[in-house]
Amino acid sequence: MSLLALWLPVLLSAIAVFIISSVIHMALTYHRSNMSKLPNEDKFREATAALNIPPGDYTTPYAGSMKAMGTPEFQQKMDQGPVMMMTVMPNGPYAMGKSLLFWFIYSLLVGLFTAYVATQAQTVLVDFASVMRLTATTAFMGYGLALIQDSIWWNRKWSTTFKFLFDALVYALLTGAMFAWLWPHGV
């Protein structure tokens, strides 16, 4: 079986994930606590606005090397704080259209990799359950597992990561169901 034989479940699973992710983020409220308001937000914004920090990812204090992280000066900065990792975005309205487009392309990519794995294991995929199990597991790896490292390395709240992992499970089950439903038996 070729990847082309699975174009429909790839496309429909991406559409289904796009729709359900929109419902999750617009209608359900469990992601509202992912971020918190900074104490003294206005004072912070005023102080940092004057710095004209270009969009990008930053950390402070910044060491630059493992050796520099061991210096007393760096350790003093860590002890004094603040210790932050932050992403600075461009000023102005958030480009939701661009992000939604990239999210859909990402969902297609997860579907494509899921299809690839399924084509490699096609001899064991003989019924709805076996197709569902393999493709949902593969899709979950694509949607979810990389999120865990944000809590491990960047101190993202584990509660936020678990909420995103729940979302990934929903997306994976949708993807698996689409593949199982549209699996081309006898190809």
> Model pTM?
0.88
pLDDT digits (tens, 9 = 90+) for 90-120: 999 988 999 999 999 999 999 999 999 999 9
pLDDT digits (tens, 9 = 90+) for 61-89: 999 999 999 999 999 999 999 999 999 99
Q: Is 104 left (phi over 0), alpha (psi -120 to 50) or beta?
A: alpha
Share of the chain above pLDDT 70, in %: 99
Is the distance from CB of 9 to CB of 178 less than 8 angstroms? Answer: yes
Cα 105 to Cα 17: distance, rounded to the nearest angstrom? 11
Give the residue-averaged pLDDT of 109-135.
91
